[in-house]
Amino acid sequence: MQVIIAENGGFCSGVKSAVDLALSVPAENTFVLGELIHNRDVVSLISERGIRTVSSPEEVPEGATLIIRSHGAGKAVFDVCARRGIRVLDCTCPFVKNTQRIVSRAGAEGKTVVVAGHRDHPEVVGLLGWCGAECFVFSSEEDDFSILREKNVVLVAQTTFSQEKFLKICEILKKECQKTVEIFPTICYTTVRRQKEAAEIARLCDAVVVIGGLNSSNTNKLGEIASRHCGRVIRIADAGAFEYEKIKNLKRVGLILGASTPGWQAQEVLFKMEENNAEVQATTMQDVVDEMGKEERYKKGQIITAKIVSASDEGIYVSASGKLEIMVAKDELDCEAYSKEAYSAKVGEEIELMVTALGPVKLSQKMVKKMKEEEAMLADIEAGAEFTVTCTGTNKGGLTAELGTYPVFVPAKEIRSGYVKDLEKYVGKKLRLKLIEIRKERRKEIIASQRVILEAEKAEREAIKAAKEEEFFNSIQVGDVVEGKVERVTSFGAFVSVNGFDCLAHISDLSWTGVKAVTDVLEIGKKYEFKVLKIDREGKKVSIGYKQLQPQPWDLVRDKYKAGDVVHGKVVRIVPFGAFVELEKGIDGLVHVSQISHEWLENPTSALSIGQEIDAKILAFNPDEKRITLSIKAIEPRPETAEVRTEGERPVRAKKARRSNAQNGEEEEYREWNEGGLGGASIAEMLHLDEENK
Tell me, yes or no, whether 158 lies in a domain: yes
Which candidate, 161, 97, 100, 172, places its Cα nearest to that of 132?
100
Q: Choose the weakest-confidence range: 356-370, 374-388, 598-612, 670-684.
A: 670-684
How many CB atoms sit inside 10 A of residue 462's CB? 10
Q: How many angstroms separate the CA atoms of 656 and 62, rounded?
A: 125
The pLDDT of residue 683: 43
The pLDDT of residue 655: 39
Read off the pLDDT band of 641 (50, 70, 90): low
Tell me, yes or no, whether 2 lies in a domain: no
Tell me, yes or no, whether 673 lies in a domain: yes
Residue 7 near residue 197 (C-beta atoms within 8 A): yes
Tell me, yes or no, whether 130 lies in a domain: yes
Q: How many angstroms separate the CA atoms of 370 and 584, rounded?
A: 81
The tally of domains found in the chain comes to: 6
**Mean pLDDT over residues 230-249, rounded?**
85
**Mean pLDDT over residues 139-148, rounded?**
90
Residue 684 and residue 662 share a domain: yes
CATH code, 631: 2.40.50.140
pLDDT in tens, 202-236: 888 888 999 888 888 888 888 898 898 888 899 98
The pLDDT of residue 664: 46
The pLDDT of residue 441: 65
Beta bridge partners of 437: 447
The pLDDT of residue 629: 94
Q: How many angstroms separate the CA atoms of 523 and 527, rounded?
A: 9
The pLDDT of residue 671: 53
pLDDT in tens, 296-347: 467 777 888 888 988 888 898 888 765 567 889 999 999 989 998 999 999 9
The pLDDT of residue 675: 44
Residue 687 and residue 577 share a domain: yes
Residue 567 and residue 685 share a domain: yes
Decide: residue 646, CB within 10 A, 0-12 exposed, 13-18 middle, 19+ buried. exposed
Q: How many angstroms separate the CA atoms of 682 and 138, rounded?
A: 103
Could you tell me which residue, 438 or 503, shows the higher pLDDT? 503
Residue 660 and residue 583 share a domain: yes
User: Does residue 670 carry a pLDDT above 60?
Assistant: no
**Mean pLDDT over residues 677-694, rounded?**
42
Q: How many angstroms separate the CA atoms of 169 and 155, rounded?
A: 9
CA 528 centroid distance within chain = 43
**Mean pLDDT over residues 150-173, rounded?**
90
Residue at which a domain ends, from 187, 217, 233: 187
**Per residue in 22-32, is it b (16+ CB within 10 Å) or e — as a string?**
beeeebeebbb
Q: Which amino acid is at 314?
A: E
Residue 180 and residue 200 share a domain: no
Read off the pLDDT band of 391 (50, 70, 90): very high
Q: How many angstroms separate the CA atoms of 510 and 516, rounded?
A: 11
Could you tell me which residue, 669 or 466, shows the higher pLDDT? 466
Residue at which a domain ends, from 523, 549, 575: 549
CATH code, 230: 3.40.1010.20
Residue 571 and residue 643 share a domain: yes
Range of the domain at 267: 195-291
User: Does residue 127 carry a pLDDT above 70?
Assistant: yes
Residue at which a domain ends, from 76, 94, 112: 94
Q: How many angstroms separate the CA atoms of 186 and 155, rounded?
A: 9
**Mean pLDDT over residues 110-136, rounded?**
90
Which candidate, 261, 63, 38, places its Cα nearest to that of 53?
38
Residue 645 and residue 567 share a domain: yes
Q: Choose the weakest-confidence range: 77-86, 552-561, 635-644.
A: 635-644
Residue 204 near residue 254 (C-beta atoms within 8 A): yes
Tell me, yes or no, whether 444 lies in a domain: no
User: Does residue 494 carry a pLDDT above 90?
Assistant: yes
User: Does residue 419 carry a pLDDT above 70?
Assistant: yes
User: Does residue 487 carry a pLDDT above 90?
Assistant: yes
Q: What is the DSSP string of 209-261?
A: EEES-TT-HHHHHHHHHHHHH-S-EEEESSGGG--GGGTTT-SEEEEEE-TT-
Alpha helices in 49-136 (DSSP H): 75-84, 94-108, 122-131
The pLDDT of residue 680: 40
Q: What is the DSSP string of 149-208?
A: TTS-EEEEE-TTS-HHHHHHHHHHHHHH-SS-EEE---S-HHHHHHHHHHHHHHHH-SEE
pLDDT in tens, 78-115: 999 999 999 999 999 888 999 999 999 999 999 999 99
Read off the pLDDT band of 286 (50, 70, 90): low
Tell me, yes or no, whether 1 lies in a domain: no
SS3 assignment, position 612: coil
- Decide: pTM greater than 0.75: no
Q: How many angstroms separate the CA atoms of 145 and 112, rounded?
A: 13
Tell me, yes or no, whether 341 lies in a domain: yes
**Mean pLDDT over residues 169-194, rounded?**
88
Residue 115 near residue 73 (C-beta atoms within 8 A): no
Residue 625 known to be catalytic:
no
Q: How many angstroms separate the CA atoms of 4 and 214, rounded?
A: 22
Catalytic residue among 35, 48, 62, 123: 123
Read off the pLDDT band of 685 (50, 70, 90): very low
Which candidate, 575, 566, 577, places its Cα nearest to that of 614?
566
Residue 87 and residue 135 share a domain: no
The pLDDT of residue 452: 95
The angle subtended at Cα 630 by Cα 624 and Cα 635, nearest 5°, is: 145
Q: Choose the weakest-confidence range: 81-90, 239-248, 657-666.
A: 657-666
User: Does residue 689 carry a pLDDT above 50?
Assistant: no
**Mean pLDDT over residues 560-582, rounded?**
92
**Mean pLDDT over residues 594-612, rounded?**
90
- What percent of the chain lies above the pLDDT cut of 90? 43
Read off the pLDDT band of 279 (50, 70, 90): low
Residue 575 and residue 682 share a domain: yes
Tell me, yes or no, whether 440 lies in a domain: no
